[in-house]
Amino acid sequence: MAGLMAGFGHYTHAVVRGVPASLAKGALRTVHAEVDLAKAQKEHEAYVEILGTRLGLELIVLPVDESLPDCVFVEDAAVVCGDTALIPRMGAESRRREAEHMKAALKDLNLNIVEMTDETAILDGGDVLFTGREFFVGLSKRTNQRGAEILADTFKDYAVSTVPVVEGLHLKTICSMGGPGLIVIGSSEPAQKTLKIMQQMSDHRYDKLTVPDDYAANCVYMNLPNKGPVLLHATAEQYPESAKVFEKLKDHMLIPVCNKEKVKVDGALTCCSVLINKKADI
């Protein structure tokens, strides 16, 4: 298992997409909140800058499509593991065309593309938590059992367990990976209940890092050459108590990232990129 986990968090490429002007009015949201478009775009530029300039990932920037207000949230449009990419049939019909540019970009990287064509299946990438050892798939308004089954068929090397999402849009609204074997989880009752179910379903023992704010539990973990463990997490300005918890991760390079505007349309940090570890072509 240690061998399997050795490459966890290794990435070479990041697929991102800009914030369309239509996001402010047109993006789907569970709670109505006014979005400051200019701030949302600035936040996103800073996020992309961190991935590309500061961390040295090769960026693949998909074109912005004004007719797709949610298109900045690329994570929902692909699940990539190893050299295989699953293009899901997203739960919100208005978002399904987002997959077209994503599919083309992943094809250009020579990944094996699997498309979810079953019309009874739905799955959003935001409901998929890959731990390096196995997959947890949240059953939510955007992801169903059939979607989870197709994911399991696509990534046969890994166990796949389903978890009910009782609160929040996606499974990763309340949790993410903070390192190999470390699950970052919100402190609310639904979040803690979800973690308990995940622990019961798994053969592995995971450590947990509980943060006071559920939204702050969504962070981006990477393990990069010359940088070591890196964690992009919510800022102290947004979630002061949660930021203090992240400071306990002494061996991580901690990078606070502002996500104030995109969170209003249910956008978390992992939502805005698809991270890929591309083996060099021989």
Q: What is the DSSP string of the chain?
A: -HHHHHTTT--SEEEEEPPPTTHHHHS--SS-----HHHHHHHHHHHHHIIIIIT-PEEEEEPP-TT-TTTT-GGGG-EEETTEEEE---SSGGGGGGHHHHHHHHHHTTPEEEE---TT----GGGEEE-SSEEEEEESSS--HHHHHHHHHH-TTSEEEEEE--SSSSGGGSEEEEETTEEEEE-SHHHHHHHHHHHHH-SS--EEEEESSTGGG--EEEEETTTEEEEEEE-TTT-HHHHHHHTT-TTSEEEEE--TTGGGGT--TGGG-EEE-PPPP-
271 classed as catalytic: yes
The dihedral built from the CA positions of residue 169, 175, 177 and 178, taken in this order, carries a sign that is positive
Catalytic position from the list 170, 219, 233, 252: 170
Strand partners, 134: 159
Is position 272 annotated as part of the catalytic site? no
> Residue 117 burial by CB count (10 A; 0-12/13-18/19+): exposed, middle or buried?
exposed
Active site residues: 170, 271
